[in-house]
Amino acid sequence: MAQTFNCTGCGAILEYHGEPEHTMLCQYCSTNLHVPEEYLQEAELKQTMNKWGKYLIIFWLSPLGSPPALD
Protein backbone atom coordinates (compact mmCIF):
# COMPACT_ATOMS: atom_id res chain seq x y z
CA MET A 1 0.00 0.00 0.00
CA ALA A 2 1.35 3.40 -0.94
CA GLN A 3 1.95 6.09 1.62
CA THR A 4 1.25 9.67 0.65
CA PHE A 5 2.69 13.05 1.49
CA ASN A 6 2.41 16.54 0.01
CA CYS A 7 4.95 18.23 -2.21
CA THR A 8 6.47 21.25 -0.46
CA GLY A 9 6.70 23.06 -3.80
CA CYS A 10 3.20 22.78 -5.22
CA GLY A 11 1.17 20.84 -2.63
CA ALA A 12 0.49 17.86 -4.91
CA ILE A 13 -0.13 14.53 -3.24
CA LEU A 14 2.77 12.16 -3.89
CA GLU A 15 2.78 8.38 -3.39
CA TYR A 16 5.71 6.53 -1.84
CA HIS A 17 5.77 2.80 -2.57
CA GLY A 18 8.71 1.72 -0.39
CA GLU A 19 11.57 2.36 -2.81
CA PRO A 20 15.04 2.55 -1.23
CA GLU A 21 15.69 6.06 -2.59
CA HIS A 22 15.64 8.82 0.01
CA THR A 23 14.43 11.48 -2.43
CA MET A 24 11.59 11.78 -4.94
CA LEU A 25 10.96 14.12 -7.81
CA CYS A 26 7.52 15.74 -7.91
CA GLN A 27 5.92 14.81 -11.22
CA TYR A 28 4.05 18.12 -11.35
CA CYS A 29 6.60 20.81 -10.44
CA SER A 30 9.92 18.86 -10.52
CA THR A 31 10.77 19.72 -6.91
CA ASN A 32 13.28 17.28 -5.41
CA LEU A 33 11.80 16.10 -2.09
CA HIS A 34 13.10 14.08 0.84
CA VAL A 35 10.93 11.08 1.68
CA PRO A 36 9.66 11.36 5.28
CA GLU A 37 12.00 9.47 7.65
CA GLU A 38 9.22 7.33 9.13
CA TYR A 39 8.37 6.04 5.64
CA LEU A 40 12.01 5.10 5.01
CA GLN A 41 12.26 3.31 8.37
CA GLU A 42 9.12 1.31 7.70
CA ALA A 43 10.33 0.33 4.21
CA GLU A 44 13.70 -0.75 5.64
CA LEU A 45 11.97 -2.87 8.29
CA LYS A 46 9.85 -4.59 5.64
CA GLN A 47 12.92 -5.31 3.51
CA THR A 48 14.75 -6.75 6.53
CA MET A 49 11.82 -8.96 7.46
CA ASN A 50 11.55 -10.21 3.88
CA LYS A 51 15.25 -11.00 3.86
CA TRP A 52 15.60 -12.53 7.33
CA GLY A 53 12.07 -13.68 8.16
CA LYS A 54 12.59 -17.22 6.95
CA TYR A 55 15.67 -17.59 9.17
CA LEU A 56 13.79 -16.30 12.19
CA ILE A 57 11.07 -18.92 11.60
CA ILE A 58 13.66 -21.70 11.33
CA PHE A 59 15.32 -20.51 14.55
CA TRP A 60 11.95 -20.35 16.30
CA LEU A 61 11.08 -23.88 15.22
CA SER A 62 14.45 -25.39 16.14
CA PRO A 63 14.77 -26.98 19.58
CA LEU A 64 16.36 -24.86 22.25
CA GLY A 65 19.29 -25.92 24.35
CA SER A 66 22.80 -27.07 23.58
CA PRO A 67 23.53 -30.28 21.67
CA PRO A 68 24.78 -33.29 23.60
CA ALA A 69 28.56 -33.47 24.03
CA LEU A 70 30.38 -35.69 21.59
CA ASP A 71 33.14 -37.86 23.10
Band (pLDDT 50/70/90 cuts) for residue 23 is: confident
Residue 27 lies in a domain: yes
Per-residue burial over 8-47, b if 16 or more Cβ lie within 10 Å, else e, is eeeeeebebeeeeeeebebeeeeeebebeeebbeebeeee
Q: Which domain holds residue 32?
A: 3-57
Q: What is the mean pLDDT of residues 53-68?
A: 59
The stretch 3-24 carries a mean pLDDT of 89
User: What pLDDT sits at residue 15?
Assistant: 92
What gap in Å lies between CA 66 and CA 71, rounded to an integer?
Answer: 15
| More confident call, 20 vs 57 | 20
Look at residue 63 and tell me whether its pLDDT is greater than 90.
no
Q: How many domains does the chain have?
A: 1
Q: Tell me: pLDDT of 12 over 60.
A: yes
Tell me if 35 is assigned to some domain.
Answer: yes
49 domain-assigned: yes
pLDDT for 26 beyond 90: yes
